[in-house]
Chains A and B, each alone.
Chain A
Amino acid sequence: MLKIHQLHKSYPIGDSSLHVLKGIDLNVEDGEMVAIMGSSGSGKSTLLNIIGMLDEADSGDYILDGLPIKNLTEKKAALYRNKFLGFIFQSFNLINYKNALENVALPLYYQGMKRKERQEKAMFHLEKVGLADWAHHLPKELSGGQNQRVAIARALAANPKLLLADEPTGALDSTTSYDIMAFIQQLNDEGKTILMVTHEEDIANMCKRIVKLRDGVIMEDKKIKQVRAQQHV
């Protein structure tokens, strides 16, 4: 599914530059659920952004589902993001003037799907996250947990190969966090490949594999026995 080899990335800071990723090697198979951990500044978010084609690596190879991701034009990157990737952000990143249904339908709009079809599909995914009754509410009328579920529905709408989550529970209380995690685990059970950045130990333990980053290199990469979130709810 995902092959990364000797990935480097640095950011210019004034005259000097900050070397954030110093040669990352990572392979992720279909159906895996990987937590990327590390303290702040370890490069975990940068790695996720590069995987998400939101940012570009300076050097190294990144192959997604057999497609080399390199020197993409903006247009191509947009197309790939739409086709292959679903994003879940810490701050949800819903468009505030669109209701839940419209937010979920947005990636489908960029796929060029017909209005009626995409509304049906969006509704289907909203039902899946249990928010069908809230379809016509604006983000500000929903709770944090509900907003994150709308965001998950949106990430799922385009039926991506890979789900990327950047601290998906970072803005939620622990009960809601477990609720969301339970849902993400369920998606993984259904076969979705999931990559998640977190710095919370308990959340990481709910994944199947933990990759620990420190100062831009992978310190530890181990498979673990998944803790089911359902037990905590």
Chain B
Amino acid sequence: MFDLDLWREIFQSINKNRTRSVLSGFTVAFAILLFAILFGIANGLQNTFKEAFGTDANNSIVIFPGMTTKAHKGLQAGRLIRFKNEDHDFIMDEFGDKVQYMTSKVNRNVTASFKGEKNNYQLRAVHPEYMFIENNVVCEGRYVNQNDLNHKTKVAVIGKVVNDELFAKENAIGKYVSLNGISFKVVGIFTDDEGDNEERVIYVPLTTAQLLYGNTDFIDFMHLTYSPEMNSDAALAFGADITKKLKDRFSVARSDQRAIMVQNFAQGTKQVEIMTFGLTVIIFVIGIGTLIAGVVGVSNIMIFIVKERTKEIGIRKALGASPKSIVSIILLESILITTIAGYFGLLLGIGVLEWVGPGLEKYSIKDPGVSSSLIFGATLALIIAGAIAGYFPAKKASNIKPIVALRND
């Protein structure tokens, strides 16, 4: 039931005791302000952190062949390991359900020329899936596809930098570019948000490269991404599993570190996860700490207010105020002040973040901000905690014998 008279009493009390009200409001507003700013900055740090890892698939596993360093099963040390297409198929057969995308790669450095323009670039002979692993974006034409692989077509997909350097004057699509003297038809142009180096690259179908460079089925290394549902621990186990299976396949000692090298990004992902977790814990501790400080502040104020109003409470009780009405008048006043001040602190905090946020990027804090639901929750927590903290002194005050309260001069 809305009791207009009660609220009138409360507003009068707030209004006539302005210093007290402003001071207690200040504590709450300050707590929420600090909460918002600290949380915002922590979020900004996290944003920077996330961004630093780019858009490369970070669930990658890269498998390189090497040279054995230990004799095993009658085979000598110093034996060179080379992967073939069948090894790619072997992994797909064994672990297909855990693999998201997989490609084999042959890397060469080539001299590309077109109408007198000439430059050196990296050639990567790949499967079509590579596009997703590398997060390439085709801006014109198309990427290498399965049909290219099947027919060993001589097509090339060139990076934006290659396009700018060789085809400055005309559209590259459909033109023939010479790669180490062999003509390839340009079918697509791609961009990569990791920058120029990744755009100084020419992609061709794997099978074509194998045919042209020695008619072999050798591959330089394999690159796969594991299913994104896997957590970093499962992914690490998956990487270890692949290593083990491949070592057995090539009759390599399990303890031989150099024969087959597996670079598992999950290692990094795990570290990122640990750091993110650490950051979250810090944020959490800061947030809880700030809130506790706010709650303690509110309780202190409540105790002080009750102390200060003891005589008034005595008078009111002598005039016929019930304990309930004493509790409600004190509690509602504090809740009202806390709510208004909390809201004020919230607006102030968001405002400060908006204002200084863009200038903080150079301190690796990007887009500092807090969700308003979080701040709302914090304010609500403060109000509830403040009300609970205030309830006990208010309850105690309401039970003071009026004669004791009145003696309190």
Contacts and interface: CB of A to CB of B under 8 A. Distances in A.
Interface of A: 49, 52, 54-55, 74-75, 78-79, 81-83, 87, 89, 91, 93-95, 97-98, 102, 106-107, 109-111, 115, 154, 158
A83 B320 CA distance: 8
A151 B314 CA distance: 15
A55 B322 contact: no
Nearest to B319: A107
A1 to B, nearest CB: 19
B318 A54 contact: yes
Contacts of B17: 97
Given A91-B409, A97-B12, A115-B5, A74 B322 contact: yes
Closest 3 CB pairs of A and B: A82-B320, A97-B16, A54-B403
A109 B5 contact: yes
10 contacts: A54-B318, A55-B401, A74-B323, A89-B406, A93-B311, A94-B315, A95-B316, A97-B12, A154-B319, A158-B319
A79 B322 CA distance: 7
A107 B5 contact: no
Given A55-B403, A78-B321, 16 more contacts: A52-B318, A54-B318, A54-B401, A74-B322, A74-B323, A75-B322, A79-B322, A81-B320, A82-B320, A93-B315, A95-B312, A97-B16, A98-B12, A98-B16, A102-B12, A110-B320
Interface of B: 4-5, 8-9, 12-13, 16-17, 311-312, 314-325, 398-399, 401-403, 406, 409
B318 A87 contact: yes
B406 to A, nearest CB: 6
Contacts of A49: 403
Contacts of B322: 74-75, 78-79, 110
Nearest to A158: B320
Contact of A81 (B311, B319, B398): B319
B13 A97 contact: yes
B185 to A, nearest CB: 90
A110 B318 contact: no
A75 B318 contact: no
A91 B315 CA distance: 11
A76 B322 CA distance: 8
Contacts of A111: 320
Nearest to B13: A97
A98 B12 CA distance: 8
B229 to A, nearest CB: 62
B406 A93 contact: yes
B399 to A, nearest CB: 7
Given A54-B402, A89-B406, A78 B323 contact: yes
Nearest to A97: B16
Contacts of A55: 401, 403
Contacts of A83: 320
